[in-house]
Amino acid sequence: MSHPFENLTPNQRKSLFLISFTASLFLIVVLSLIGRPLITEVAIYGIVSFEFSGDAESAAAIIDSWDQAARLSAALSLGLDYMFILAYSTAISLACLWTADVTRDYGWPLTHLGSVLAWGQWAAGILDAIENLGLILILIYGVGKPWPELASFTALIKFILVFCGLSYAFYGLVVSLIVRMSEMKER
């Protein structure tokens, strides 16, 4: 099944990639700055520790390790993460489609994964949004089932999908470099 981004022209894809990639990098910096107060002895990975808390007791311990300012930082981080979801899922989807084009053009294997992994990035984004909703509900209403379990499960699947997409994009970069190096040797 083709991905909607495959209907874009190469120039449109390139422009959208540059915008979404730049936005992703910018938001990574902003989110890491906002997330500094979330790193505690209990939440050694900050918001990621909260995402993977997995049960009510662990989530409560993490929230209890945050002062009021840190809790506001967590809420702001989760809100801004919705913009990050749009940026990273778009950038990685486009990178996966670019890899499919590169592998198809040069006869390398795994071309068929491009569209599948591009869709997978949108699935990761949906899972990330569900995860964020669960974490926001925990912050607002307190820890209770099923939110810590749901957030942990959706975070795990999200990270797997993003890892697969990034790995495939890296594969495309390696293929592109190998092809260019062999073309330079032939000249």
Q: Does residue 153 sit within a domain?
A: yes
pLDDT in tens, 113-172: 999 999 999 999 999 999 999 999 999 999 888 999 999 999 999 999 999 999 999 999
Predicted pLDDT of residue 145: 86
Closest CA to 73 of 33, 29, 24: 33
* 117 belongs to a structural domain: yes
- Nearest residue to 33 (alpha-carbon basis) of 51, 44, 19, 47: 47
**pLDDT for position 111:** 95
- Note whether residue 173 is domain-resident: yes
The per-residue pLDDT for 129 is: 98
DSSP state of 109: S
Report pLDDT for 148. 97
How confident is the model over 171-176, as a mean pLDDT?
97
pLDDT, one tens digit per residue, over 59-108 is: 999 999 999 999 999 999 999 999 999 999 999 999 999 999 999 999 99
Question: What is the mean predicted confidence (pLDDT) over 26-54?
Answer: 98
* Cα 161 from Cα 157, distance rounded (Å): 6
Which pLDDT band, with edges at 50, 70 and 90, does 23 fall under?
Answer: very high
Q: What is the pLDDT of residue 25?
A: 98
Number of folded domains in the chain? 1
pLDDT computed for residue 133 by the predictor: 97
Q: Which domain holds residue 163?
A: 7-186
Q: Is residue 20 part of a domain?
A: yes
Q: Distance between CA 39 and CA 78 in Å, rounded?
A: 15
Closest CA to 64 of 41, 87, 97, 84: 41
Looking at residue 183, its pLDDT comes to 87
Residue 2 forms part of a structural domain: no
Does some domain include residue 178?
A: yes
Q: Is 132 inside a domain boundary? A: yes
What secondary structure letter does DSSP report for 67?
-
Q: What is the pLDDT of residue 186?
A: 82
pLDDT of residue 53: 97
Backbone angles phi, psi at 155, to 5 degrees: -65, -40
Residue 37 per-residue DSSP state: G
Say if 1 falls within a structural domain.
no
Q: What is the pLDDT of residues 41-61, one digit of tens each?
A: 999 999 999 999 999 999 999
Tokens of 29: 């910096």
Q: How confident is the model at residue 187 (pLDDT cuts 50, 70, 90)?
A: confident
